[in-house]
């Protein structure tokens, strides 16, 4: 299990379990569209707090397989980056990049 602060754990679980749930691809066609959907329902403060939590998660001293397992087991994320041929930390960085974009 990755070690994250309780506040981050709550934020990460709320995001991944709510937006990358088992049927996430019924709500959006791509993971990037899922993040955009989250942003459309969130305040800038919520987005900034999630961005920070993801950055701290990425700083963990764990390998890709451990991090992906933690996303699934600890945070309820049903999108598996490895299944899409992606490195987990790169995928998480892509989420941070989207969250950092200015709202339209």
Number of domains in the chain: 1
Full domain range(s) for residue 16: 6-100
Dump pLDDT digits (tens) for 19-56: 999 998 888 889 999 999 999 999 999 999 999 999 99
The pTM assigned to this predicted structure is 0.90
> How far apart are the C-alpha atoms of 50 and 85, rounded to whole Å?
24
Residue 71 lies in a domain: yes
Residue 1 lies in a domain: no
Dump pLDDT digits (tens) for 77-99: 999 999 999 999 999 999 999 99
Long-range residue pairs from 88-91, CB within 8 A, at least 24 positions apart, any chain: 88/64, 89/58, 89/64, 91/31
Residue 41 lies in a domain: yes
> What's the CA angle centered on 14, arms 99 and 65, to 5 degrees?
80
């Amino acid at each position: 299990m990755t070690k994250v602060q309780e506040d981050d754990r709550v934020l990460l679980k709320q995001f991944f379990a709510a937006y990358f749930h088992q049927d996430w691809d019924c709500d959006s066609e791509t993971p990037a569209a899922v993040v955009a959907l989250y942003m459309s329902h969130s305040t800038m403060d919520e987005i900034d707090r999630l961005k920070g939590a993801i950055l701290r998660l990425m700083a963990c001293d764990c390998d890709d397989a451990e991090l992906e397992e933690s996303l699934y087991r600890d945070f309820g994320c049903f999108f598996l980056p490895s299944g899409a041929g992606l490195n987990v930390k790169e995928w998480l960085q892509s989420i941070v990049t989207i969250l950092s974009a200015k709202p339209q």
